[in-house]
């Protein structure tokens, strides 16, 4: 379906055209008419399916039709600063030819940033995208004007609950008008998400798009290795080709720091991203990576969701993630839009059970490539023998 067929305001269509959007994705085609009808919605869609525009477009359209864009009409609550920034950037692009404005509200800034947020919350910005902690800090001070709010969006709701934001979400809702349209998006639908939906949404329409399996255009390969072979294997892969854009995922901050240090000693163009860096530092690293000033980014799962970076050639899972959904989100950083990409996973003996569970979850046996002879013998792959205690792939508490 073409966006021109959805009945959008001409000024919004101008922004859509300027960005280069032509046809709606499946989640957009299903969600936009429901939202335009004023119904609550719960949508299941993974990163990269176009879900951000699926809720931004009808919300911008509604604000244009009803007027008063200087009032705060929409609140979008998200789990991370990076996602808040990304949504706000897309919002600004789509609304460029309209009077609808927006601001991202998140922690980590200085006093000037806080004052700017306060002014927007007091005087009104059409759309506010916020992380829970920072938003609550403003709400508790009493100046945030939410009396004209018409839309509440909870994006990546499963991630917010995994990060322990349930009480924060309830507190935020207590400051909002009872009459509003509620939209919830989640990559997974564990029981706790359905519980939250019952508490927040009013007779919602449920939309499920794209079972969480990796795109076919992602070349997936596993390397069965000993832990001591991981860094030599990284050196071999990165030295075999002049990669311009690589993300390496580690499961902990410590392994992220250690690997980055090792790669710097090997003279690779590399930087790290994890929760120990403040927002300014993380932003600087991301900007350098997007500008191709850095070739390699080593990151924790803080980067696996909600970061839209084009042209990632290769994703390497230095550690096997404990959650199949994290695996899907990690490798989904590559092969975005029409591009192709590759995802390599290093599988140590102790991680084979976890990787076997991931293969079962995505209903696919990922081919295992031999490691170079000079690295020595590799373990045999036997995920049943090396099975760890199983963890639920839905609704568990992440580290």
Kindly state the average pLDDT of the residues 245-252. 91
- In this predicted structure, what is the pLDDT of residue 241? 87
- In this predicted structure, what is the pLDDT of residue 152? 98
pLDDT in tens, 326-341: 788 788 777 655 457 8
pLDDT in tens, 18-56: 877 878 888 899 999 999 999 999 998 766 677 899 999
Rounded to a whole number, what is the distance in angstroms from the first to the last CA of the chain?
41
**Would you state the structure tokens that stand for residue 125, as one six-digit string?**
């910005």
Per this entry, what is the length of the chain? 399
Q: Is the pLDDT of residue 395 over 50?
A: no
pLDDT in tens, 180-190: 999 999 877 88
Kindly state the average pLDDT of the residues 4-19. 91
Q: Is the pLDDT of residue 387 over 70?
A: no
Over pLDDT 90: what percentage of the chain? 57
Residue with tokens 């960005």: 19
Q: Is the pLDDT of residue 392 over 50?
A: no
Q: In what order do the strands lie in the sheet with 296-299?
A: 270-273, 296-299, 246-249, 314-317, 341-347, 218-224, 368-369
Residue range 218-375, CATH number: 3.40.50.300
pLDDT band at 210 (very low <50, low <70, confident <90, very high): low
> What are the residue ranges of CATH 3.40.50.300 in the chain?
3-208, 218-375
| Residue scoring higher pLDDT (14 or 215) | 14
- In this predicted structure, what is the pLDDT of residue 66? 86
Residue with tokens 């696996």: 304
How big is the chain by its Cα radius of gyration, in Å? 22
**Would you state the structure tokens that stand for residue 282, as one six-digit string?**
């993380």
For the chain, the average pLDDT equals: 87
pLDDT in tens, 50-92: 789 999 999 999 999 987 778 899 999 999 888 898 899 889 9
- Asked if 283 and 303 count as a contact pair (C-beta separation under 8 A), the reply is no
pLDDT band at 306 (very low <50, low <70, confident <90, very high): low
Q: In whole angstroms, give the CA distance from residue 88 to residue 84.
A: 6
pLDDT in tens, 133-162: 999 999 999 999 999 999 999 999 988 998
Which of 3.30.830.10, 3.10.105.10, 3.40.50.300, 3.40.50.1970 is the CATH number of 3-208?
3.40.50.300
- In this predicted structure, what is the pLDDT of residue 110? 67
pLDDT band at 362 (very low <50, low <70, confident <90, very high): confident
Q: How far is CA 185 from CA 26, 81, 143, 279, 347, in A?
A: 14, 17, 28, 25, 32
Q: In whole angstroms, give the CA distance from residue 36 to residue 340.
A: 34
β-strand pairing of 218-224 with 270-273: unpaired
Q: In whole angstroms, give the CA distance from residue 345 to residue 349.
A: 13
């Amino acid at each position: 379906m073409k966006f021109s067929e959805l009945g959008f305001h001409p000024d919004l269509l101008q922004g859509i055209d300027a960005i280069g959007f032509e046809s709606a994705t499946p989640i957009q085609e299903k969600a936009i008419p429901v939202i335009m009808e004023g119904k609550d919605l719960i949508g299941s869609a993974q990163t990269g399916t176009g879900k951000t525009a699926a809720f931004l477009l009808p919300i911008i359209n509604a604000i244009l039709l009803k007027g008063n864009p200087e009032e705060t009409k929409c609140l979008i609550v998200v789990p991370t600063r990076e996602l808040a920034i990304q949504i706000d950037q897309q919002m600004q692009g789509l609304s460029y030819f309209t009077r609808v404005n927006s601001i991202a509200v998140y922690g980590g800034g200085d006093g000037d940033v806080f004052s700017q947020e306060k002014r927007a919350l007091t005087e009104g910005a059409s759309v506010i995208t916020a992380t829970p902690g920072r938003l609550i800090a403003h709400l508790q001070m009493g100046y945030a004007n939410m009396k004209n709010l018409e839309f509440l969006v909870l994006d990546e709701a499963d991630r917010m609950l995994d990060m322990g934001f349930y009480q924060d979400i309830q507190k935020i809702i207590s400051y909002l008008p009872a009459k509003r349209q509620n939209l919830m998006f989640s990559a997974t639908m564990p029981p706790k998400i359905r519980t939250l939906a019952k508490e927040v949404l009013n007779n919602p329409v449920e939309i499920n798009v794209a079972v969480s399996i990796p795109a076919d255009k992602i070349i997936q390969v596993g390397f069965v290795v000993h832990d001591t072979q991981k860094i030599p294997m990284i050196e071999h892969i990165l030295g075999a080709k002049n990669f311009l854009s690589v993300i390496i995922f580690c499961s902990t901050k410590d392994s992220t720091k250690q690997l980055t240090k090792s790669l710097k000693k090997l003279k690779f163009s590399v930087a790290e991203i994890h929760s120990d860096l403040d927002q300014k530092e993380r932003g600087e690293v991301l900007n350098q990576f997007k500008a191709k000033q850095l070739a390699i980014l080593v990151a924790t799962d803080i980067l696996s969701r909600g970061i839209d970076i084009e042209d990632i050639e290769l994703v390497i899972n230095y550690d096997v993630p404990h959650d199949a959904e994290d695996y899907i989100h990690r490798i989904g950083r590559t092969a975005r839009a029409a591009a192709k990409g590759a995802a390599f996973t290093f599988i140590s003996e102790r991680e084979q059970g976890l990787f076997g569970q991931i293969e079962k979850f995505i209903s696919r046996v990922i081919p295992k490539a031999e490691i170079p002879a000079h690295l020595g013998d590799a373990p045999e792959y036997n995920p049943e023998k090396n099975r760890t205690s199983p963890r639920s792939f839905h609704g568990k508490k992440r580290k």
